[in-house]
Amino acid sequence: MPNTTSFLILNGRFETPDDPIPYTLQRQDEATINDYNLIAKQHFSKAKTCYVIPRPSRALRSQPGPPTDHNPVVLHFSLSSKSGNQAPSATVVLPELPTRTQFHSSKLKDPVMRKKI
């Protein structure tokens, strides 16, 4: 779907293989990435970072209010203001895209659960 719509998934583009897995959903025995950040390819150069803030304990999750099992995702963009006398560019030059590190759900590591998926 992202290729068809000319969008990119930002998750995994700024992590190195040595970084911990940026799970966006963590429960007692489950961890997965189910929150994705998408950006149109022509705007990718404005994306500076995309990372997940892991919270190891439910006690540390959003207080007050209902607890959540989702970790916050932080996006940093570099936005420039356009001056009124600049004409919009008709051509878009795409920068070389970093490869996306792919992470897998904790369920895929469990041989019993893997057979169910």
* Confidence grade of residue 76 (pLDDT, cut at 50, 70, 90): very high
Which pLDDT score, from 0 to 100, does residue 29 have? 76
pLDDT tens digits for 19-51? 888 888 887 778 888 898 999 999 999 999 999
Mean pLDDT, to the nearest integer, of 8-14?
A: 89
How much is the pTM?
0.59
Distance (Å, rounded) from C-alpha 47 to C-alpha 80? 12
pLDDT tens digits for 103-113? 666 666 666 54
Per-residue DSSP letter, 82: P
Tell me the chain's radius of gyration from C-alpha atoms: 18
Q: What 3-state DSSP class applies to 27?
A: coil
The Cα angle at residue 20 between residues 31 and 95, in degrees rounded to 5: 110
CA distances from 2 to 7, 8, 30, 38, 57 (A): 5, 6, 26, 8, 33
